[in-house]
Amino acid sequence: MEEQQLEKATLAGGCFWCTEAVFQRVEGVKKVTSGFTGGNIKNPPYREVVTGRTGHAEAIEIEFDPNIVTFEELLYIFFATHDPTTLNRQQNDVGTHYRSAIFYYTEQQKETAEKVIKELEEQKTFKDPIVTEVSPAGQFYVAEQEHHDYYNQNRNQPYCRVIIDPKVQKLKHTFSKKVKSEA
């Protein structure tokens, strides 16, 4: 049996607890890691990132099988499950670390991101313009352990019920053919 060739995607869509919960449920996604990228200091701790002074975004690093789910499909899920029209904000979470961003690894990923954004804009998918940053992937720093698998471990927390549950439900409704059967 041939070993699968995984690809990587790094996305920032506000709180990484939300984006992690969504992408953990996508067929073809093998691993989702919460962390920080796009900033200007090495190994930033969460408590520093949330001050907004490090320049990092809360992000997830996704390892996926492109034979099952494409980068483009991941982007459509990304745009459908967060608000890409609010600068440095997702609902009540405010600050540059909550910005919407796609950090690309290849020229093909960059072109795909730009194509998807252009398409969504032309279709007027959102009332306001998309402000999602498209930047080269830099160093990704893994978040502290308590931030990993947060939604699955804390489903009864008010934040999970009010903020994350609707995103997971939208994924299941809008992209039902791309949701893992055990999700």
Indicate the domain borders of the chain.
7-178
CA angle 62, 113, 139 (to 5 degrees): 45
Q: Please name which of 167, 75, 155 lies closest in space to residue 114, comparing C-alpha atoms.
A: 75
Catalytic residue (choose from 15, 143, 160, 179):
15
pLDDT of residue 45: 86
39-77 residue pLDDT tens? 999 999 898 998 888 999 999 999 999 999 999 999 999
9-47 residue pLDDT tens? 999 998 999 999 999 999 999 999 999 999 999 999 898
Q: Please name which of 138, 22, 9 lies closest in space to residue 66, comparing C-alpha atoms.
A: 9
Looking at domain 7-178, what is its CATH homologous superfamily? Peptide methionine sulphoxide reductase MsrA (3.30.1060.10)
Within 13 A of 24's CA, how many CA atoms are on the CB side? 19
- 3-state SS, residue 72: helix
pLDDT, average across residues 110-136? 97
Q: Measured between alpha carbons, how far apart are the two ends of the chain, in Å?
A: 27
Active site residue 15: yes
Please state the pTM of the whole predicted model.
0.94
**Pair 60, 33: CB distance under 8 Å:** yes
